[in-house]
Structure 1
Amino acid sequence: MPFPQPAVARSRPGHGPTVPSVEQTLDVRFTEVTVPGHGRITTRAYNGAIPGPTLRVRGGGVLRLTHVNGLPPNPPHDGGHNIPHHPNSFNLHTHGMHVSPSGHADNVLREFAPRTARQVAAGGPEPRYTTTVHVPAGHPAGTYWYHPHLHGSTAEQIAGGMAGVIIVEGDVDEVPEIKAAADIVVCISELKVKDGKVPAFTSGNWMTGVPSVFTVNGAVNPTLQLRPGAVQRWRLVAATAFTSLRLEVAGSRARLPMHQIAQDGITFPRTVTLDRLELAMGNRADVLIRGGTPGRYELRADGVSGALMTIEVAGEPVVPPMALPTALPPGRPFLNEQDLTDPGADRKVLFHADQGVFPGTFPNAFRILGTGATPPAGPDADLTRDPAYGLFDPGYVNHTLRLGTVERWTVRTDETLPPHNHPFHLHTNPFLVTHRNGRRLDPPVWHDTVGLAGGTPGDSVTFLARYEDFIGRTIAHCHQFHHEDLGMMQTIDYVKR
């Protein structure tokens, strides 16, 4: 059976002043899909498949997407905005892309609602919505992804496989050694399946006892063929909602090294060879894999039982072996401390959870504290039980970020258990991680999402960010979506300087 690849939507050439565009309908409805070992399951999906179609666009092009909401009406909701709600509404986030967060672009404050019960009874049409994303001409070429991002419904939808890959084509694809390699999407989804469906997010212990089912391009442990000496380019996408992945490619007697060329869509200054690669929820990595000693290998992740996929190195060897690149195009210039607009005005952010402090079925408070924290409702009372302190408030701006400025952030977690990971994701602009746990990285690495595992102490990262090109309101949040839906999110307002 051939290794599965998602359907692909490519750019249509423009004519005259018209720029090339990718035109794609993303139809969302409950669909039956087959998950090996679990049979037929009913889940929300893009175009009836996990993952949805891959969108291939070039800098200077446009994504023109039509969204059809074929889901049933939302159940009533009388709780607060940090209680899961509206599971059949969604929107679209083009994760990691440097595009406008406003209007009908990468605007996660929109809602694509389904029909109401009255509209269904009247035979009204299924609603359609549009997204138009203008990709800047100089946008970094690399691997990105899309997923729903409506606060209150995101975790349940991604746990059902709502995700798809975006590829921005460009200079790195023309490097001869990379151009010669097979270009393969490896989209890793984390499904939560119980009784043939994704359980509704109705309590804080929603996923207790529901093991994750990991798929690659919708299949459980598919097999990829690789000839000895051949090179493949894997576009690894951690489309997981709850679990970070520490990956390796290993056989019974040997490993296949991963030659990483990009992180979160931005090309490295040079190829980095690794035995293990860490991807937090939402991260992507482009790696080159060269077939070595014939045999069976597995893509494995620490803490995940079973292989994510199997690699069979077999067949006629490629002689001489395909080469790896010795030089890469510049992905994005580095920043340094001399670029800081105000060297003394650092932003300090803390991921913090208060356990068992609220009544009802959602007792835990998932907070973001530090600079710009949402103020408490009762500042003189017990802050561990405050219903507003550090929790997402759609009417409160936590960070006002001015275009053209460069700022330094330090983000940390005070979780004590290493498996508890709070990945930090900033929308619209990438950031340059310069330090991890106080140690300077050489070289620093561009990210749009960075994992923060718990410990004693928990992880911390320091990064530099330049805010460029686009104004409008968007968000920063924990990319463990159970936590995000319960309030571990902040409002960002990009404004003119």
Structure 2
Amino acid sequence: MAATPKTVRLNNGKQAELFTYNGQVPGPTIDAVEGQRVTVHFTNNLPEATTIHWHGLPVPPDQDGGPEDLVPPGGRRDYTFDVPVGSAGTYWYHPHPMDLTAGQVAKGLAGAFRVRAGADPVPSTFRDTLVMLSDLRLTADGRVSPGTQADKMNGREGDLVLVNGQVMPTLSWNPGEGRRLRVINASAARYYRLALPNHTLHQIGTDGGLFAKPVAQTELLLAPGERAEMLVQATGTAGTQSVLQALSYDRGVHVMPMGSSTPMSSAAPMDHSMHGMSMGTQASDGGGGGLPLMRWQYGMAAPAPMASIPALLRAVTPIATAGATPHAVVFTENMMTLDFRINGQKYQAGRADFVSKLGVPEIWQVENRGDMDHPFHLHGTQFQILDRNGVAEPFVAWKDTVNLRKGDVTRLAVQFDRYPGLRPFHCHILEHEDLGMMGLVRVE
């Protein structure tokens, strides 16, 4: 695989000067089977240093593509790791060099990494479909716009939203058909509150693989870095069309009022029962009002028997937390000085902020004392959400990224079972990460 600058023609006719993996945006999908060894031969043809981080996969620290493990311009290296049995799920890869991550992702560097199960409980009648969401902001001559002060405060949101590298693509299907969607939020800062009007989204999994059983809902929120798997049945009529859309979501971005030098948050008080892996049955905008992402076009074929949703998927064992070691992670921000910290400190290479022991259960209490949403991401393992603001999580699931609203206190069950070494944890709004909202845990 090679990271290379390239001029890419988008399907809307615009040309964009991007960074690419193997000349394409998104990069090539990597398919593996759990238990398999993966080797990626990487060449950096960019004018700056980069890495490849395997987001969500429990790989050894020296293969994780962390912020200091740089491949210089013109450099090469191999990434080699085993995909553990039991890790089937939807992952992705992207650059992670300190100070450069946001800019490189903004220029297009990201790709999907799909790990298949040896025995998959999801019927093959549901066609496996990747949906990688990203966004671009281009100048008139096709260059990626330089970051602004507002981008540093809030994280960059582009004015072109892409699905698998295309603007408003069309998915064709027929009545009765089923789709297994693997949705990846590969944007630097944009949140996607997804809805497909007049269709039920049967969520079957999240970052670290399948749930125990499907959860039916009308909409679903994905913070930057999060993934979701869902089954969708083609319940519409031949010749009709639906549109996958992103409904409005207030993440508390900061704006500079006219004549003021003090940024203000847009965040309004919110019912915290709305957020999380799923949005439950919260009202959607129905047939309109959202940002259109992808057309779902029904063909004219006669309806086939409806694809059946499985009742059970797999066993998900909770992490035993009796006697667990506690750790506290606190996000703070100062928008005036663009100061983003964890536990009062900015990231420092090689400094361990605390120590974890292999095989020892822990409870991480992660708190957002800022005025906007911050998605928390942990490298090297998956965790389980215990509760949010004292409210128990309704079901057990494996996660590596979780959103924190303003004031949220979320408790996570964490256990590192593989590989000693330093592991980053950070805000996954990439500008905040680059500005120092990141720490390291030493696993011993």
TM range (shorter): 0.7 to 0.9
Q: Secondary structure at the match of 1:444?
A: coil
Aligned to 1:327: 312
Aligned residues: 400
Q: Secondary structure at the match of 1:157?
A: helix
Q: CA deviation at 1:210?
A: 7.0
Contact 1:172 / 1:328 at 8 angstroms: preserved in 2?
no
Aligned to 1:415: 370
Q: Name the amino acid aligned to 1:198.
A: V
Counterparts of 1:15-94 in structure 2, within 5 Å, are 26-37=1-12, 39-72=14-47, 88-94=48-54
Gaps of 5+ in 1: 1-25, 73-87, 115-125, 357-362, 370-388
Aligned to 1:182: 127
Question: What is the alpha-carbon root mean square deviation over aligned residues?
Answer: 2.1
Residues 108, 62 of structure 1: alpha-carbon distance in 2 compared, 3 angstrom cutoff: farther
Q: Secondary structure at the match of 2:115?
A: strand
Residues 210, 100 of structure 1: alpha-carbon distance in 2 compared, 3 angstrom cutoff: closer
Residues 477, 172 of structure 1: alpha-carbon distance in 2 compared, 3 angstrom cutoff: farther
Residues 266, 209 of structure 1: alpha-carbon distance in 2 compared, 3 angstrom cutoff: closer
Aligned to 1:258: 201
Aligned to 1:367: 341
Task: Pick one of 328, 336, 345 that aligns with 1:390.
Answer: 345
Q: CA deviation at 1:215?
A: 0.4
Contact 1:100 / 1:133 at 8 angstroms: preserved in 2?
yes
- Distance of 2:123 and 2:345 partners within structure 1: 45
Aligned to 1:232: 179
Q: CA deviation at 1:341?
A: 3.2
Identify the range of structure 1 (233-242 vs 196-205) with the bigger mean alpha-carbon deviation. Answer: 196-205
- Distance of 2:57 and 2:303 partners within structure 1: 36
What is the TM-score normalised by the length of structure 2?
0.85
Gaps of 5+ in 2: 250-289
- Distance of 1:47 and 1:59 partners within structure 2: 24
Counterparts of 1:318-357 in structure 2, within 5 Å, are 318-330=303-315, 332-338=316-322, 340-342=323-325, 346-356=326-336
Q: CA deviation at 1:447?
A: 0.9
Q: CA deviation at 1:438?
A: 1.8
Contact 1:424 / 1:450 at 8 angstroms: preserved in 2?
yes
Matched, 1:109 2:109: no
Aligned to 1:384: none
- Distance of 2:303 and 2:89 partners within structure 1: 27
Q: Secondary structure at the match of 2:80?
A: strand
- Distance of 1:46 and 1:413 partners within structure 2: 34
Q: CA deviation at 1:172?
A: 5.6
- Structure scoring higher RCO (CA < 8 A, sep ≥ 6) equals 2
Contact 1:230 / 1:317 at 8 angstroms: preserved in 2?
no
Q: Name the amino acid aligned to 1:448.
A: D
Identify the range of structure 1 (420-429 vs 475-484) with the bigger mean alpha-carbon deviation. Answer: 420-429
Q: Name the amino acid aligned to 2:390.
A: G
Q: Name the amino acid aligned to 2:104.
A: Q
- Distance of 1:133 and 1:444 partners within structure 2: 27
State the percentage of identical aligned residues.
31
Aligned to 2:433: 484
Matched, 1:134 2:95: no
- Distance of 1:67 and 1:336 partners within structure 2: 39
Q: Secondary structure at the match of 2:196?
A: strand
Task: Pick one of 279, 292, 302 that aligns with 2:235.
Answer: 292
Contact 1:172 / 1:329 at 8 angstroms: preserved in 2?
no
Aligned to 1:152: 99
- Distance of 1:234 and 1:178 partners within structure 2: 13
Contact 2:136 / 2:157 at 8 angstroms: preserved in 1?
no
- Distance of 1:262 and 1:147 partners within structure 2: 21
Higher radius of gyration, 1 or 2:
1
